[in-house]
């Protein structure tokens, strides 16, 4: 049969990668699109209030039932349903809706709609994107109530009995959590931001999904054949035979690719001209150490030590710290672990303590500055790290260095800690390597001098880019200016690496820049000895390292360094290495 309907391509964004091809299953929330508004006479209002109360009670029962029957695979996400449970009777929703019935004579449906819309309008004003998207929670809760008011059948994704691709305006956490992996191939939604629950849950389910399509519900009919391209964030409706063929190939290639990436994760990553780049993990909690092993990390390049300070009551003792550090050292041995000393301001440790509030915490008393002011606590940590060095390949890393004085002072304390441990007869490695974070522009300028005092540098690109470009990444007005490919950043990185080569010390990159595949040709060409990234990115990054030659990336970086805008750098990367990032040509 000739395919008479033209193919439609709809762009959204990738909720989770992967490709699936199949029949669409439209999830319609019947009855909720049209909500009637009518007036309730004063004498009938108490009945209307009771109708609302009954609907809320039923909605709560349904959700409770769903929570109890959620599969273990997505248990971690059940908390959001529990939060929804707490919202049913929230005064801003429930009490307000009752007031609207009693005072204004609104019917229950309209009261719920009106109150939830007004709450949602407050959310829309929130600058933080994650918290702003919590408006969705209000939508989901009020929909559950409305279903019961209009007696519409709630959507039961769990009852779908054929292998389909879900298409919906939006999927609530309650709906997403019902997805059964053997029944649902993937899903497409019109709404849902990058921080929506649907997006977060899609990632943990690892099924292909495209969110934020805008128009999928209008364009897709039930049982239409669609393709979900979660790699490129694309939905294809009525694909032509040719498109189907292409995507069938892409799908099998993606699956093979994923299998091979994971299979090779545990092997060292060497470029195709045989330069091994150690690919380590950034972690902050001891539990994550299992992930480091699973994803094939060659050690821990950045252990953030803040957790024991923030979570306990006050400052942990040397012994408490040592016990945890020792466990980590032993578990990772013989692979190395780099402990970064405390990198927060004191306010975080003793909440409410009389520490002066800072207008600009990023430029305030934090990291090494705080530690050098509170030397007794700092000594406890240094000694704990030293003692752990008897149980594995341990290194110490000082954060937020902005001057030579800070390096010398820290090293002096380290020497004192060694003396004191030696007197106590404690075991430690007297030659434990010492490094500093290069994340403040002054440390870049002074790198040539600082390099004489330490064994390694670790470049923290997140802060370095922030400080160098004077951009607060948390500020949505300027966040788009944050750019790892900024020519000024590339030149700074080059300066640091050149200094390391000259003084023959190791250089590691431990910011997010190192975990994004499109930066890899630049990162490798600059000459990093090691990378330290979030564990789940390790397999893919290792894979890219194996596909390039260091000699070529070196020459490539020389070219990139001559460019003057980020866009030129980006274009050059795409032109030379774009094929590595696109699976179609893999």
Partner 1 sequence: MEALSRTFLVHNKLGLHARPAASIAKLAQQAKSDIWLIKGDEKADAASIIDILTLACTQGTTIKVEITDHNDTSILENIASLFETSFGE
Please identify which residue in 130, 260, 574, 582 interacts with partner 1, judged by CB under 8 A. 130
Please identify which residue in 122, 408, 422, 478 interacts with partner 1, judged by CB under 8 A. 122
Spatial separation of the C-alpha atoms in residues 45 and 106, rounded to whole Å: 9
Closest approach of Cβ 400 to partner 1, in Å?
Answer: 16
Q: 278 and 393 in contact (C-beta within 8 Å)? A: no
Closest approach of Cβ 28 to partner 1, in Å?
Answer: 26
Spatial separation of the C-alpha atoms in residues 366 and 502, rounded to whole Å: 31
Please identify which residue in 61, 128, 255, 330 interacts with partner 1, judged by CB under 8 A. 128
Determine, following the binding rule CB under 8 A, whether residue 119 of this chain makes contact with partner 1. yes
Q: Which is nearer to partner 1, 173 or 191 (CB)?
A: 173
Q: Which is nearer to partner 1, 334 or 352 (CB)?
A: 352
Q: Which is nearer to partner 1, 46 or 79 (CB)?
A: 79
Q: Which is nearer to partner 1, 161 or 311 (CB)?
A: 311
Q: 404 and 455 in contact (C-beta within 8 Å)? A: no
Determine, following the binding rule CB under 8 A, whether residue 287 of this chain makes contact with partner 1. no
Spatial separation of the C-alpha atoms in residues 453 and 435, rounded to whole Å: 9
Determine, following the binding rule CB under 8 A, whether residue 66 of this chain makes contact with partner 1. no
Tell me how crowded residue 422 is: count the other CB atoms within 10 A of its CB. Answer: 12
Backbone φ and ψ of 456, nearest 5°: -160, 160
Beta strands in 154-194 (DSSP E): 164-168, 184-189
Q: Is 51 exposed, middle or buried (0-12, 13-18, 19+ CB in 10 A)?
A: middle
Q: Which range binds partner 1 by CB under 8 A, 63-71, 122-130, 438-446, 515-523?
A: 122-130
Please identify which residue in 214, 474, 536, 578 interacts with partner 1, judged by CB under 8 A. 474
Q: Comparing C-alpha atoms, which of 265, 382, 392 is closest to residue 337?
A: 392
Spatial separation of the C-alpha atoms in residues 27 and 102, rounded to whole Å: 34
The CA angle 517-519-524, to the nearest 5 degrees, is: 100
Q: Is 197 a known active-site residue?
A: yes
How many binding residues for partner 1 (CB under 8 A)? 33
Q: Is 79 exposed, middle or buried (0-12, 13-18, 19+ CB in 10 A)?
A: exposed
Q: Which range binds partner 1 by CB under 8 A, 44-52, 77-85, 485-493, 543-551?
A: 77-85
Q: Which is nearer to partner 1, 112 or 407 (CB)?
A: 112
Q: Which is nearer to partner 1, 5 or 122 (CB)?
A: 122
Q: Is 510 a known active-site residue?
A: yes
Exposure letters 309-326 (e unless 16+ CB within 10 A, then b)? beeeeebbebeebbebbb
Catalytic residue from among 20, 371, 508, 510? 510
Closest approach of Cβ 278 to partner 1, in Å?
Answer: 27
Token readout for 49 is: 């209030």
Catalytic residue from among 197, 213, 486, 500? 197
Neighbouring residues of 240: CB distance < 8 A, sequence distance ≥ 6: 3, 7
Determine, following the binding rule CB under 8 A, whether residue 92 of this chain makes contact with partner 1. yes
Q: Which is nearer to partner 1, 96 or 518 (CB)?
A: 96
Spatial separation of the C-alpha atoms in residues 210 and 350, rounded to whole Å: 43
Spatial separation of the C-alpha atoms in residues 18 and 98, rounded to whole Å: 46
Determine, following the binding rule CB under 8 A, whether residue 476 of this chain makes contact with partner 1. no
Q: 371 and 377 in contact (C-beta within 8 Å)? A: yes
Here's the x/- map for partner 1, 137-156, by CB under 8 A: it reads as: xx------------------
Q: Which is nearer to partner 1, 22 or 286 (CB)?
A: 286
Determine, following the binding rule CB under 8 A, whether residue 478 of this chain makes contact with partner 1. no
Please identify which residue in 36, 161, 311, 424 interacts with partner 1, judged by CB under 8 A. 311
Closest approach of Cβ 286 to partner 1, in Å?
Answer: 15
Q: Which of residues 411-440 bind partner 1 (CB under 8 A)?
A: none
Q: Which is nearer to partner 1, 53 or 253 (CB)?
A: 53
Q: Is 146 exposed, middle or buried (0-12, 13-18, 19+ CB in 10 A)?
A: buried
Neighbouring residues of 476: CB distance < 8 A, sequence distance ≥ 6: 127, 128, 129
Determine, following the binding rule CB under 8 A, whether residue 479 of this chain makes contact with partner 1. no
Element of type H or E holding 304: strand 300-304
Q: Which of residues 333-392 bind partner 1 (CB under 8 A)?
A: 347-348, 351-352, 357, 361
Spatial separation of the C-alpha atoms in residues 388 and 371, rounded to whole Å: 20
Closest approach of Cβ 75 to partner 1, in Å?
Answer: 14
Determine, following the binding rule CB under 8 A, whether residue 79 of this chain makes contact with partner 1. yes
Closest approach of Cβ 99 to partner 1, in Å?
Answer: 14
Spatial separation of the C-alpha atoms in residues 58 and 244, rounded to whole Å: 45
Please identify which residue in 42, 313, 423, 504 interacts with partner 1, judged by CB under 8 A. 313
Please identify which residue in 69, 127, 267, 565 interacts with partner 1, judged by CB under 8 A. 127
Please identify which residue in 35, 67, 87, 225 interacts with partner 1, judged by CB under 8 A. 87
Determine, following the binding rule CB under 8 A, whether residue 80 of this chain makes contact with partner 1. yes
Token readout for 332 is: 């990772």
Q: Which residue numbers are catalytic?
A: 197, 510
Binding residues vs partner 1 (CB under 8 A): 79-80, 82-84, 86-87, 90-93, 119, 122-123, 126-128, 130-132, 134, 137-138, 310-311, 313, 347-348, 351-352, 357, 361, 474
């Amino acid at each position: 049969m000739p395919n008479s309907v033209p193919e439609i391509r709809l762009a959204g964004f990738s909720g989770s990668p992967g490709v699936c091809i199949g029949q669409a299953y439209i999830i319609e929330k019947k009855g909720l699109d049209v909500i009637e508004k009518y007036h309730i006479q004063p004498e009938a209002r108490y009945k209307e209030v009771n109708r609302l109360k009954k609907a809320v009670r039923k909605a709560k029962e349904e959700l409770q039932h769903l929570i109890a029957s959620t599969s273990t695979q997505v248990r971690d996400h059940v908390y959001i349903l529990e939060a929804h449970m707490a919202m049913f009777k929230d005064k801003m929703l429930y009490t307000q809706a009752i007031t609207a019935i009693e005072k204004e004579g609104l019917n229950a449906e309209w009261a719920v709609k009106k109150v939830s819309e007004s709450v949602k309008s407050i959310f829309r004003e929130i600058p933080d994107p994650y918290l702003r998207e919590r408006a969705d929670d209000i939508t989901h809760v009020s929909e559950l109530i409305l279903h019961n008011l209009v007696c519409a059948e709630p959507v039961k994704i769990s009852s779908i009995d054929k292998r389909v691709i879900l298409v919906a305006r939006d999927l609530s956490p309650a709906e997403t959590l019902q997805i059964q992996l053997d029944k649902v191939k993937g899903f497409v939604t019109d709404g849902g931001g990058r921080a929506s629950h649907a997006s977060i849950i899609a990632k943990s389910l690892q099924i292909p999904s495209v969110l934020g399509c805008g128009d999928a519900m209008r364009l897709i009919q039930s049982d239409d054949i669609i393709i979900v391209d979660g790699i490129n964030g694309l939905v294809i409706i009525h694909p032509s035979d040719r498109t189907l063929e292409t995507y069938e190939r892409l799908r099998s290639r993606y699956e093979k690719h994923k299998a091979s990436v994971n299979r090779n994760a545990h092997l060292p990553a060497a470029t195709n001209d045989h330069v091994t780049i150690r690919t380590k993990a950034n972690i902050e909690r001891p539990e994550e150490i299992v992930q480091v092993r699973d994803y094939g990390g060659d050690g821990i390049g950045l252990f953030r030590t803040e957790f024991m300070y923030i979570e306990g009551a006050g400052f942990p003792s040397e012994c408490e710290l040592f016990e945890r550090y020792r466990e980590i050292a032993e578990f990772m041995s013989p692979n190395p672990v780099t402990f970064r000393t405390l990198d927060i301001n004191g306010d975080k440790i003793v909440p409410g303590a009389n520490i002066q509030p800072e207008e600009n915490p990023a430029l305030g008393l934090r990291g090494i500055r705080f530690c050098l002011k509170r030397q007794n606590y700092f000594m406890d940590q240094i000694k704990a790290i030293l003692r752990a060095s008897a149980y594995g390949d341990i290194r110490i890393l000082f954060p937020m260095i902005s001057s030579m004085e800070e390096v010398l002072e820290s090293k002096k304390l380290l020497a004192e800690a060694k003396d004191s441990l030696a007197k106590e007869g404690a075991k430690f490695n007297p030659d434990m390597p010492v490094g500093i974070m290069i994340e403040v522009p002054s440390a870049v300028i002074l790198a040539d001098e600082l390099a004489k005092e330490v064994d390694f540098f670790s470049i923290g690109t997140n802060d370095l880019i922030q400080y160098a470009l004077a951009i607060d990444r948390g500020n949505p007005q300027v966040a788009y200016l944050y750019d790892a490919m900024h020519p000024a950043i590339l030149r700074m990185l080059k300066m640091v690496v050149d200094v390391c080569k000259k003084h023959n010390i190791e250089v590691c990159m431990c910011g997010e820049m190192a975990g994004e595949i499109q930066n890899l040709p630049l990162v490798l060409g600059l000459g990093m000895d090691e990378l330290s990234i979030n564990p789940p990115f390790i397999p893919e990054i290792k894979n890219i390292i194996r596909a390039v030659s260091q000699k070529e990336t070196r020459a490539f970086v020389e070219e990139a360094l001559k460019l003057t805008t980020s866009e030129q750098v980006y274009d050059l990367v795409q032109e030379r290495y774009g094929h590595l990032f696109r699976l179609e040509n893999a």
